[in-house]
Structure 1
Amino acid sequence: MGPNHPDTLTTVFALGKLLREAQSYTESESLIRRALEGREKTLGSACPVTLETKEDLATLLKTLGKPREAEPLLSFVVGARQESLGAAHPATLRCVESLAMALEAMGRHAEAEPLCRRALDSRRKLLGEKHQDYLSCLNDFASLLRATGRYSEAEPLQREALESSEEALGMLHVVTLASLSSSAMLYKVMGQYEKSETLYRRALDGRKAALGSTHPDTLTTMSNFAVLLRTTGKHDEAEPLLRKALAGREAKLGAEHPDTLTSLHNLAALLQAASREEEAEELCRRALEGREATLGGTHPDSLATLENLAALLYARGKYSEAETISRRALADREAVLGKDHPDTLQSMSTLALLLQAMSRASDAEPYLQCVCQRRTEVLGATHPDTLSALQNYGALLHSLGRHADALAACKSVYEGRETSLGPNHPSTMESMDSAAVVLASLGCKEEALQAFRSVAKSLQASLGPHHSATLQAQRHVAELVKRMEERGKAVLPEQNSDPVEARARFAAALRKAESGGTTLARTTSLPEAFLAAFRSFSVTGGEAHYEGMVEARAMIEK
């Protein structure tokens, strides 16, 4: 029959599809390309059989992380099917949605959205709201909205996709599992970590059962779940999952596949969170190099790794290189994602922290003000990212000597995290530590010391004795004890007090300080105000508290 006989090509194509289902992607691509080349020669580019082959090759290319190669194939098929079958034909709509997802994978959200809306509206009219193709498209559209930072729009659609899929298709259907995983990701970025964790565990168990432990979709859920565990401070559980996902993706997809690079990026972020910065920087640079080569320098994923590298360099004290990278990440994210996108605000926050570390607090302040305002508007006042921004702003105000404003900010963060994360969560403890620093500056040394001790004890139990946050809290204890002793102040020995009682005392100290019951707030004599500021300076020391003295002197002169 010959290599280009229709029956030969049918066999080649069928074998290629079979290998794709068996996850032998490289061999599958070779065979499907061969079938497409032969069918174009013998049947023509617009033949329905040829179009089916083009679409299948494009689908495989998307799986292989090659959306750039998939896009022209899908665009051709969409055009040809619209002409031959009509814009509303199911085969046309399937390809329209596939094209939208290829564009989304390339970070071209503005082009993807109208295509996805078109496919969704048409499928609703043609198939109804319980059909698997409609529900799959609904899940994709909700994911697209999430990727553009429009969480409030995405949430009701994502909830509808999950509930309807469970009801109409069953718990282990691939569309239901995709909706589970997407829902978990949405609630994670919305800061609803407990709900996200429940959904991720269900999605991971379901995909393992339905698809197997090494299927790309299973590895995606595993990787994303590990990111959530890292975010919630469960590093010991997160690291083996991330390493397993990375190894599985390297074996199945190759070292340069976008999904493999995502696992590399996530592992670097975990190592950074665990204070293993040297290992993290090496992996982060590898991920950045790979993402820029495969996705382009301005792709959202490349910019995410660039942002992480800036934060890593900042943590390692490489401020000059960090500032250059941070400014590039911010400028590119503003251009690609918009000024109000959560990722853009994260870049703005990183740059502000870097400037503050370089003793350029006045340059940093407008950035942090902007981040606090926009995150409150976009995410809400109690979202974890909003609280992080407010804590950073409180630290900046403290460094500028504006202690009353700093205390108000730190108190809000502490109360918000205690409510949302629990009293013993590392982030809650971090907030207590920050508020205690301000209390010490306001003259509440005993209360601050008790808080520092509580934080150090809690963080040692949750993060370990060598974690940077634990070491910082221990350093705060030692520094404050030393300064109190130098001032002739009695230092009470540490007691094994009840954690609930310790938190109650701390909350009372915050209320007292905020209502004006501290040395600085009670002072009515201006010379006394300057002396109080000087005493505050002597407690914690440092250039930042010198600003408080300058402010007090200005009050006296005024």
Structure 2
Amino acid sequence: MLRLAAFLEPNGIPLDVLTSARALAHLAAGRTPGSDAVPSEPDRRDAEAALVALYRLGLTDRTTTARNDVRLVRVHQLVQRAVRDALTPDEYGATATAAADALVAVWPSAEQDTIRSAALRANAATVLAVAAEGLFGDDGRIHPLLFRLGESPGESGHVTAAYAHYLDALAQTRPGSGPNHPDVLTLRARLAYWRRRTGDSAGAAADLDDIVADYARGVGPDDPDLLRVRAELAAARGAAGQTDAATRLSHRLVADHSRIHGPDHPDSLAALTGLATAYGQAGRIDEAAALFEELVHRFDEILGPHHPQTIDVRHRLAIAYQQTGRVEEAIRLQREVLAARERLIGREHADTLAVRANLATAYGQAGRFDEAVDMLEQVLGGYERLFPPEHPGTLVSRSNLGMSYGQAGRTAETVRVLRRSFTECVRVLGPDHPDTLTTCYQLAAFQGRSGDWAEAVALLEHVLLRRRRLFGGEHHDTLVAREALAVAYGRTGRWPETVELLEEVLAAEQQNGTDASRAESLHAQLAAARSTTERVDVEVELRDGDGGAGGAALGTDASVRIGLRLRPGPSHPWAGVPPGARPPVDVLVTPLTFADVTPDSAPYEHEEDVEFAVTARRAGPQTVRFTLRHQASGAVLQQVEVDVPVGEASGGEDADHVEDA
């Protein structure tokens, strides 16, 4: 027993590791041959008795965690070192393998207890530190503990740690095993998987191309491991924005699984789930939702409503409903999934927190902003309790909370939270990670909403540049960033750039088969933007006032009416468009000298002139500025300054006007 404990974590070995079946087999193998004093096969009571004896001898200690009552055995590092040093090479290797086997035997596939999981990882890391060579066989085989030690932190949300573990494990494989040994191929595939989860989907896809080719040389086309790697390749392609390739790969996988297993086999249903996900990534949201609906029905029938895969596909369907605007249905499903996840894996598991975050987002879509804020504050608190500040779930939940503050009208808090979240995403994930770019996009939106359009432009240029490099110019996320930047350019008066970007978005979406309403919206935005690149003629006319008929000149406290009309030239985008079909414009009035103007703004709908009353407060020329603003977007189209003469008869002729460049 002491030999076994010498290869495990000195500060806490879970008791059930030392009393597991594999630990008992190790105890049986270490008994003195021919002894009749004890039964030949030790049981759990024998293992516990051995631990009691070691405790009485002062060689071990016992403790219990403050939470969850995990019973731990502790051994001083000097005792461990002395025990290991006394072993022969064969004994050393056999004991290390027994310790690794005992850990794998008690490691649950679904980890609910974070303290216990951390203790198991610490023990596995100790085995790896003191006996790494024993876990990598000369024949290329890799002990299963190496894979559990990689999957456990990743499943808990520590994706960077999982990727780093597999990268280090690959470097430690025996040179003689070669890159195409089955265990080495599995290790390479898991490395690629966690590379994708860190945000480098394009790099993961390139790695998986090589792995698929290496698998295909050694196994048949229907090999289960090869099919799994092909599915991961499809997922990596979709995450990298290569949606056409992902959809093609997913279709082939569905056909292959149906041919091998039949259409109702769990692997065939998993392949269909991958296809539905690929549809969603390609912007085919309605097709994705329809396929997820079919999958929920089939999973319910085949695996039952409480199976983890059924719950997962129900969660995916809820997200698809949110994307298609079916918010109330999404909320109902998310609540069901949340209850099931809490029952199966606990309230504070990372997967449960993710469902709660999606439910909060649905509340925001439904206009239930206070509920969304409350729930997201709980989600962020859960991540902060369970994980370190750099955990991806912590970063994403903070961004979501910032967006929720914005929906609730708390713009200042939104900008503060999103700015912090963006800074942390850049530090932890890097400037090119998709989550970093999403947070940057969200921050830009609220910077613009708060009036800082120059900052919004800088942030959106950052997002567009990197999304183009990551996903390509036609990806949905790239087009969203391009359209947002076009709007921001318009708000800062950079209309030629607005027109150029909107033309690119319209061309790409037409090529992708956008729906008629979306195309009409883009055409309207583009027409409004083009209208600002050529100036419209603005006619301002003095009309009757207090000074007498014919629009007599103004004196102090005298008042006169001014009529304003817009006349587009022959090359202007409004030319040839009936007045009632032109975009409505707001006219804002600013007196630049000693006059008052009422009203200070009025809508201009092209059907008839708009009038203003000007009252002089001091004798002399009066200058008034008219600002034309696009009603829908709020963008400034043009400015005109009008000089109203005093002491001269107007006679109904146009007043002088100067366009402000």
Task: Describe the shift of the 1:29–1:133 C-alpha distance in structure 2 as closer, same or farther (beyond 3 A).
Answer: farther
Cα distance, 1:241 vs. partner?
1.5
Change (3 A) 1:40 1:104: farther
Partner AA of 1:542 in structure 2: T
User: In the alignment, what sits opposite 2:164?
Assistant: 69
Name the counterpart of 1:230.
364
Q: Do residues 14 (structure 1) and 125 (structure 2) align?
A: no
Of the three residues 292, 295, 303, the one matched with 2:426 is 292
Determine if the alignment matches structure 1 residue 41 to structure 2 residue 133: yes
Alpha-carbon distance in structure 2 between the residues aligned to 1:54 and 1:125: 34
- The question of 1:255 aligning with 2:389 is answered yes
The 3 A distance-change label for structure 1 pair 486 and 164 is: closer
| 8 Å Cα contact 1:264-1:284 kept in structure 2 | yes
Determine which of 310, 330, 334 is the counterpart of 1:176.
310
Question: What residue number does 1:282 align with?
Answer: 416
Shift of 1:52: 3.6
Q: Distance in 1 between matches of 2:152 and 2:217?
A: 24
Tell me by how many angstroms 1:235 deviates.
1.0
Residues in 1 aligned to 2:244 and 2:132: alpha-carbon distance in whole angstroms:
32
CA distance in 2, matches of 1:15, 1:42: 20
Residue 478 (structure 2) pairs with residue 332 (structure 1): no
Q: Of 122, 129, 138, which residue of structure 1 is paired with 2:272?
A: 138
Q: Is residue 246 of structure 1 aligned with residue 384 of structure 2?
A: no
Alignment of 1:487-502 (within 5 A): none
What SS is found at the alignment partner of 1:129? coil
Which of 335, 340, 354 is matched with 1:201 structurally? Answer: 335
Question: Which digits, 9 at most, give the CA deviation of each residue in 1:336-366, with x for residues without a partner?
Answer: 2232322212211221222222123343233
Distance of aligned partners of 1:235 and 1:281 in 2 relative to their CA distance in 1, 3 Å threshold: same
1:106, 1:189 → 2: CA distance?
Answer: 20
Q: Is the 8 A contact 2:262 2:268 kept in 1?
A: yes
Identify, as 1 or 2, the structure richer in strand: 2
Q: What is the 5 A alignment of 1:21-420?
A: 21-24=112-115, 25-34=117-126, 41-42=133-134, 44-45=136-137, 50=142, 52-63=144-155, 64=157, 65-66=159-160, 68-69=163-164, 76=187, 78=189, 88-91=222-225, 93-94=227-228, 97=231, 120-151=254-285, 154-371=288-505, 374-375=508-509, 378-382=513-517, 396=529
The 3 A distance-change label for structure 1 pair 233 and 519 is closer
The 3 A distance-change label for structure 1 pair 369 and 200 is: farther
Alpha-carbon distance in structure 1 between the residues aligned to 2:419 and 2:610: 45
Question: Which residue identity is paired with 2:277?
Answer: S
For 1:358 and 1:439, how far apart are their aligned partners in 2? Answer: 18
Quick one: distance in 2 between partners of 1:46 and 1:161?
Answer: 44
What is the deviation of 1:220?
0.9
Native 8 Å contact 1:314 1:354 kept in 2: yes
Note closer, same or farther for the CA distance 1:536–1:210 as it changes in structure 2 (3 Å cut): farther
Could you tell me how far apart the structure 1 residues matched to 2:227 and 2:143 are?
A: 14
**Greater mean deviation of Cα atoms: 18-27 or 157-166:** 18-27
Structure 2: how far apart are the matches of 1:238 and 1:394?
A: 37
Question: Which string of whole-angstrom CA distances, capped at 9 and with x for unpartnered residues, describes residues 152-200 of structure 1?
Answer: 6634443332222122122222111111111222232334434433433
Match of 2:657 in 1: none
Name the aligned partner's letter for residue 352 of structure 1.
A
1:20 partner SS: coil
Measured in 2, the distance between the counterparts of 1:42 and 1:252 equals 33
Residues 226, 237 of structure 1: 8 Å contact kept = yes
Change (3 A) 1:391 1:275: farther
* CA offset digits 1:61-109 (Å, max 9, x no partner): 4322236437756753556987877563435544654576578778887
8 A Cα contact 1:36 1:50, kept in partner:
no
Distance 1:44 1:370 in 2: 54
Q: Matched residues in 1 for 2:153 and 2:238: separation? A: 14
Provide the rounded CA distance (Å) in 1 between the counterparts of 2:139 and 2:112: 25
User: Residues 61 and 70 of structure 1 are in contact (CA less than 8 Å); yes or no, is this contact kept in structure 2?
Assistant: no
Query: Paired residue for 2:584?
Result: 438
Provide the C-alpha distance between the structure 1 equivalents of 2:103 and 2:137, rounded to a whole number of angstroms: 18
Alpha-carbon shift at residue 47 of structure 1 (Å):
6.9
Distance 2:469 2:306 in 1: 40
TM-score under structure 2 length normalisation: 0.56
Distance 1:33 1:112 in 2: 36
Shift of 1:11: 1.0
Rg (Cα) greater in structure: 2
- 1:288 and 1:12 map into 2 onto residues whose CA distance is 39
- Cα displacement string for residues 402-453 of structure 1 (whole angstroms, at most 9, x for unaligned residues): 99979x9xx99xxxxxxxxxxxxxxxxxxxxxx9x927669xxxxxxxxxxx
Secondary structure, counterpart of 1:171 in structure 2: coil
Work out the CA distance in 2 between the residues paired with 1:319 and 1:293: 25
CA separation of 1:352 and 1:127: change in aligned 2, threshold 3 A: same
Q: Distance in 1 between matches of 2:233 and 2:509?
A: 32
- Cα distance, 1:218–1:173 mapped onto 2, change above 3 Å: same
Instruction: Give the TM-score normalised by the residue count of structure 1.
Output: 0.65
- RMSD after superposition: 4.6
Structure 2 contact 315–355 (Cα < 8 Å) conserved: yes
Q: Is 33-42 or 334-343 further displaced after alignment?
A: 33-42
Q: State the alpha-carbon separation in 1 of the partners of residues 600 and 387 from structure 2.
A: 62
Q: Take 1:179 and 1:539, find their aligned partners in 2: how far apart are those partners?
A: 63
Q: Distance in 1 between matches of 2:374 and 2:338?
A: 15
Are the aligned partners of 2:241 and 2:472 in contact in 1 as well (CA < 8 Å)?
no
2:637 counterpart of 1:542 = no
Identity across aligned pairs (percent)? Answer: 23
- Deviates most, 108-117 or 229-238: 108-117
Cα drift, residue 127 of structure 1: 2.9
